[in-house]
Structures are given as C-alpha cells and as structure tokens.
Amino acid sequence: MLGPVILAASRSDRMRRLISAAPVTKQVVDRFIPGETVADIVPIIQDLTAKGLELTMDVVGEDITTPEQATTARDAYLALIDHLEQLRLGEKVEMSVKLSMFGQALDGGHELALANVRPVVEAAAAIGTTVTLDAEDHTTLDSMFAIHEELRKDFPQTGCVIQAYLFRTEADARRLAAAGSRVRLVKGAYKEPAEVAYQQKHEIDKAYVRVLRILMEGEGYPMIGSHDPRLIAIAQELAHKAGRKLDEYEFQMLYGIRGDEHLRLAAEGHRMRVYTAYGTDWYGYFMRRLAEKPANLRFFVRSMITK
C-alpha cells in the first residue's frame, strides 16, 4: 500500500521541498544516486567498466518549468559525453534521457524536446555510443515514441523504453520488435490509473513475460530492465528458445540494486548494463526507488530520525 502513496508524493512540490531540505542522510540518497557532478561520477564509471560492466547514464532531473532548464539539461549530457570521449569509454557507456527534462511538457514541448535531444544523440553517435529514451508517465508516451521514430531516421541505434504495466505495451512491442531496434522492457515505475495499467504485481509480471516473448521472438535487440530473479531466468530461457546468442540481448539493472547479480550475470558472459544516475535534482528518481521497495522507506525514515 505504501508504494502508491510515495509515488503520489514524488509529484508533490510541497513534499519535494520538505524532503529535499530535510537532513537526508547522504548515505541513503548515495546508494541510488552516487554523485552530483561529472567529477564525482567518473571514478564510478571507471570502476564499473573495469569490472566488465557497461553503463547507461542518467543526469537526474524531470518536470522542468522553463526552456532554459531544458538547455541546461542538454548541456549537462553534452559535457558528460565530452568526458567519456576523453576517457575513451564511449562504447561502454550509453545515455538514458527523460524527455520531460528536455522540455516535453512545456508549450511547444514536443518540438522543443526533439530539438534539445537531437544534439545529444548526435554527440553520442560521434563517440560510438547511443541514447535510450526513458518512458515516463503514460500521457507522455505518444510524443516519446514519435520523437524516437524521428531520431531513428538518422540514428537507428536510438533506443526506447516500454513499460509492462501499460495495456498498450504489447502493441508497442510488436511495432518495435523490428530489425535494428533497441528496446528496454521494464515493469513501470509511475502511478498509473486502472484505465491504462495493470495494478497487481502478478498481472504486471505476466504482462512482462508476454512482452518479453514478443521482443525475444522479434528481430530487434531486447534490453531486459529488471532485478526480478524469476524474470531474469525466464529471459534467459526465452532467449535460448529464440536462438539468440549472448550478444543479441542484454540485461540492465539500476545502480545500487542487486550489485552481486550485476557481476554474476557479467561473469556468465552476459552483457550487463548498469543504469547510473547522478546530479543534484534527485528527488523524483529517489522517490521512485523508495516506492519500489518499502524497506527502503523504513531505512530512510530511520536515518532521518537518528540523525
């Protein structure tokens, strides 16, 4: 029951102000968002790649209110890509972007987000890597998929995310499971109404398997975004049945969650990509991580009380 309450709080400005100003134990936020600047994050990128892992980088931020903030977001990604080029890590590290951070919800937001994300996709391609468009709440998705399609005309490697909890996703997966596409499948992290999304965990898990089957049997490149041991085992089985080699799909997990599993899958020869978030505007990302596992909230509250 706690999850939906925390997700509602994740969209509340009042809660954002309260929690962001609270003496939050750095340790709790750091578990999921291990740095604020490029300088903080570079040693982490070097450490994870040295362990045989790949990364996708998220400069945290979303729901911006001015076009200037969208430009700042774009520039933050461009600065990161510049650093990756200097480190010669381009091929191991891709970017994940939230279009709301690029202005999607503002007036004329669709065009603005496309104009802001394009230079990031271009810069990523120039250093041999790519960008994946994260999936936000369901009202943003038609625009996200249209931007994805537009970007793929020049940069076919551009990926996107689909969310198993949405009723629409099986149809999206069929459309996207074509040669050359890169699709990350996740369960879904937003508070969605019963008109558009499954609400029960067992229904979401079953939908995940149905969509996974479509992706594995299709011609694209599936990216399995989950920490769920059952779904990971099913993904391995479906990949095997579909005759996919180890480099024809990949696993993805979030930084700070099931780190041993990242290493285990990489040691088995799987491509394992760690979604690593950094930056100062961590509130929305952090709250979604709390909502996914109520034990995180108990730890968080305890650390605030004992501080």
Chain residues in the site for ligand FDA (CB under 6 A): 134-135, 161, 163, 186-190, 225-228, 252-254, 257-258, 275, 289, 292-293, 296
**Closest CB to ligand FDA among residues 39, 295:** 295
- 87 class by beta-carbon count within 10 Å (0-12 exposed, 13-18 middle, 19+ buried): middle
State the nearest-atom distance from the C-beta of 188 to ligand FDA, in Å.
5
Could you confirm whether 47 is annotated as catalytic? Answer: no
Question: Is 192 in contact with 3 (CB distance < 8 Å)?
Answer: no
- 188 known ligand binder: yes
**Closest CB to ligand FDA among residues 15, 67:** 15
Q: What are the structure tokens assigned to 270, written together?
A: 């799987």
State the nearest-atom distance from the C-beta of 252 to ligand FDA, in Å.
4
- 289 known ligand binder: yes
State the nearest-atom distance from the C-beta of 86 to ligand FDA, in Å.
25
Q: Between β-strands 182-186 and 221-225, what pairing exists: parallel, antiparallel or unpaired?
A: parallel
State the nearest-atom distance from the C-beta of 143 to ligand FDA, in Å.
15
Q: Which of 74, 118, 182, 184 is catalytic?
A: 184
Q: Which of 58, 63, 134, 281 is catalytic?
A: 134
Could you confirm whether 168 is annotated as catalytic? Answer: no
CA dist 282 and 20 (Å) reads 9
- 227 known ligand binder: yes
Question: Is 105 in contact with 63 (CB distance < 8 Å)?
Answer: yes
**Closest CB to ligand FDA among residues 157, 226:** 226
- 163 known ligand binder: yes
SS3 246: helix
CA dist 164 and 156 (Å) reads 23
- 189 known ligand binder: yes
**Closest CB to ligand FDA among residues 88, 210:** 210
Q: Residue 223: which of 282, 143, 158 has the closest Cα?
A: 158
Give the alpha-carbon dihedral of 26, 30, 31, 37, to 10 degrees. 180
SS3 104: coil
> Which residues on adjacent β-strands are paired with residue 166?
197
**Closest CB to ligand FDA among residues 67, 209:** 209
- 100 known ligand binder: no
CA dist 62 and 69 (Å) reads 10
Give residues with Cβ within 8 angstroms of 167, minimum separation 6: 196, 197, 198
Q: Could you list the residues known to form a binding site, using ranges.
A: 98, 163, 187-189, 201, 226-227, 288-289
Q: Could you list the residues known to form a binding site for FAD, using ranges.
A: 163, 187-189, 201, 226-227
Active site positions, annotated: 134, 184
